[in-house]
Amino acid sequence: IFLSLSIYLKKIKVHFASLLPLLAIVILIVGSMGSNIINEKGQRWQPIPKEPMGTPVGLNPGRVVWVWNPKATSSELHGYWWERENNNQSIIDEMFEKGIKALAGVDNLKEAWDSLFKWFNKMHGKGNVSYQKGERIAIKINMNNCWDCRNNYAREDNDRDASPYVVKSLLRQLVNVVGVPQEDIILYDASRPIPDWFYYRVIYKDYPVSMELEFPNVKFYDELGGGEGRQKVEASNVKIYFAYGPCEYRTLPKCVVEANYLINMPLLKMHPINNGVTLAGKNLFGSWIEEVSDIHEYHEYGQIMGNPAPQVDLLAHEQLGGKTLLYIGDGLFGTIKDHKTIAKFQMYPFNNDWTNSLFFSQDPVAIDSVMFDFLNEEANPIEGAQNYLHQAAEPPAELYDPEGDGIYLNKSLGVHEHWDTSVDIFSPERYSGAGIGIDFVAVGKEYAEAWIRILSPQPNHLYIFGKDVAIIPFTVVIGNITVEGRVEGLNESIEKMEFYVDGKMVKEDSEAPYTWEWREFSFGKRELKLIAYYDEESIENETDVWKFL
């Protein structure tokens, strides 16, 4: 076989440099056998659509608003994702305004915020009143990957943490629309430092172009208090008690306990522990004083269907989920393989671009269910990653007592279900709807364009003899593979799909599923192109594939 390969390489004049990607892949596989990068999940788990469980909550019960605008970020990044030139603040502000209005079902932004506050206060026995001057709002941001900033707040990298631009949009509305004094707003992550790159882009109006202060009086609390304007969290006398695991309780910080409202800002991210997810429930892991890693045993235990899960303890606690006014999912840049590496999504309408999305809800179970479905469509979280949503929607009796007062959680925290992928992603019928399940509202369809999604080989995946085994920086196929394409976002009937390799048509298919068996011996980079025809029109998609054998 090596003699034949040598003759083949000489025949096609392949130089050693062209073998480097293959060598890199071999090194990657060997070096990562003990990590989560290798896909050991086997057959893909398929959720059952439209089987709602639990009770919807919120001003408009179970409502989740998804706002998408591909202009929010630059498709081709220059520098780190969080730099100014890669984010369109005015578009993000516009998306935020649309999201709040749609969540409340009110056209006036001030009235929308008043409606959300009034519903929340009424549910908490405060009467039909909006925000009152002097009340404090704590905002939980996700800085999980900033653990390495503990020795250097100036450290910078491309890991996905909270977006200063999304946070700035929220602050502009709280201060300029709701009328909250800056000094009564707290941004916090008790488990991590809040680095300089984030801090300065929040407090300054247009950093680093302008040094004009916009939010100088907003308070920042983090693990260490080691940077300018950042204070160290202090322990309160309030505990959260867990339903399982070696850690009986954890201590909440004063900045959380002393706040009147919480706003939970999760990110659209997968998580490396057992290929799970990290959304609104897990974002609250940064809400206690002690070390977070000691809860990981409980977290893994909670990834088995039917087991208790720590996210439920957190969402049920009266000082955490119990006083959360609003959940805002930051999906400008999603992740697929872990919780730090941003990735372009192939699903419609993202079409190989960043996710450019924001999510809004007052129902923690519903918003995490929707964000889970987006991740599940693109990545492949284990079935147990959604166990906490089942537990939160229908909590077992006498299990969760997060306050440790002998009073167990006995009501649903929200509604959980999975979407129906046969329904257009912008349709409210994607879910069961208001009064039954998730009340899904999508904003941004006017920007959507139909395209061909290459289902196999997926971009930036490694395939070995047809099996998808890893997510990597580029597309590599070793051995034969079934190439499959699907047209998404188009109502017209497809006449045919053509498959091309390096400009040469190799297959024409007139019936779905549109496939071609790629068995040709190759050794190097090839251009794979698919063209679909409909109603005298056509769309196409192409990708580079490193094909070996």
Cβ(531)–Cβ(548) under 8 Å? Answer: no
- How far is Cα 390 from Cα 384, in angstroms, rounded to an integer? 10
Mark whether 106 and 165 lie in a shared domain. yes
Average pLDDT over residues 273-292: 95
* Mean per-residue pLDDT of the chain: 93
In a domain, 148, yes or no: yes
Q: Report whether pLDDT(4) > 80.
A: no
Among candidate residues 284, 254, 249, the one with its CA nearest the CA of residue 266: 284
Mark whether 27 and 164 lie in a shared domain. no
For tokens 């509202």, the residue is: 441
State the pLDDT at residue 283. Answer: 98
Mark whether 66 and 27 lie in a shared domain. no
- Banded model confidence at residue 5, pLDDT cuts 50, 70, 90: very low
Cβ(264)–Cβ(283) under 8 Å? Answer: yes
Q: What is the pLDDT of residues 420-471, one digit of tens each?
A: 999 999 999 999 999 999 999 999 999 999 999 999 999 999 999 999 998 8
Strands (E), 265-382: 269-271, 276-278, 324-331, 357-361
Mark whether 176 and 73 lie in a shared domain. yes
Cβ(278)–Cβ(295) under 8 Å? Answer: no
In a domain, 503, yes or no: yes
State the pLDDT at residue 491. Answer: 86
Q: What is the pLDDT of residues 344-397, one digit of tens each?
A: 999 999 999 999 999 999 999 999 999 999 999 999 899 999 999 999 999 999
Mark whether 455 and 441 lie in a shared domain. no
Least confident of 32-36, 46-50, 303-307, 393-397: 32-36
Average pLDDT over residues 83-87: 98
State the pLDDT at residue 9. Answer: 47
- How far is Cα 84 from Cα 206, in angstroms, rounded to an integer? 8
Q: What is the pLDDT of residues 127-184, one digit of tens each?
A: 999 999 999 999 999 999 998 777 889 999 999 999 999 999 999 999 999 999 999 9
Radius of gyration of the chain from Cα atoms? 24
Residue 289: both structure tokens together: 């004083």
State the pLDDT at residue 28. Answer: 55
Q: What is the pLDDT of residues 217-266, one digit of tens each?
A: 999 999 999 999 999 999 999 999 999 988 899 999 999 999 999 999 99
State the pLDDT at residue 20. Answer: 57
How, if at all, do strands 63-68 and 357-361 pair?
antiparallel
How, if at all, do strands 249-253 and 261-264 pair?
unpaired
Mark whether 253 and 198 lie in a shared domain. yes
Q: Is-cis flag, bond preceding 457, omega within 30?
A: yes
Write the CATH number for 13.
2.60.40.10
Residue 266: DSSP 8-state: -
Cβ(483)–Cβ(456) under 8 Å? Answer: yes
Mark whether 520 and 491 lie in a shared domain. yes
In a domain, 40, yes or no: no
Mark whether 460 and 395 lie in a shared domain. no
What are the percentages of helix, strand and coil residues in the chain, rounded to 5?
30, 25, 45
Mark whether 484 and 442 lie in a shared domain. no
Q: What is the pLDDT of residues 315-351, one digit of tens each?
A: 999 999 999 999 999 999 999 989 999 999 999 999 9
- How far is Cα 300 from Cα 310, in angstroms, rounded to an integer? 10
Please report the DSSP string for 45-74 in residue order. Answer: P-PPSS--EE---TTTTTEEEEEE-GGGB-
Among candidate residues 430, 422, 314, the one with its CA nearest the CA of residue 365: 314
In a domain, 420, yes or no: no
Q: What range defines the domain where residue 151 resides?
A: 53-415+426-447
- Banded model confidence at residue 15, pLDDT cuts 50, 70, 90: low
Percent of the chain exceeding pLDDT 70 equals: 92
Residues linked to residue 483 through DSSP beta bridges, in sequence order: 516
Strands (E), 156-243: 185-189, 204-206, 210-213, 219-222, 230-232, 235-241
- How far is Cα 339 from Cα 337, in angstroms, rounded to an integer? 7
Task: Specify the number of domains making up the chain.
Answer: 2
In a domain, 42, yes or no: no
Q: Is 475 helix (H, G, I), strand (E, B) or coil?
A: coil
Write the CATH number for 320.
3.40.50.11440
In a domain, 47, yes or no: no
State the pLDDT at residue 473. Answer: 87
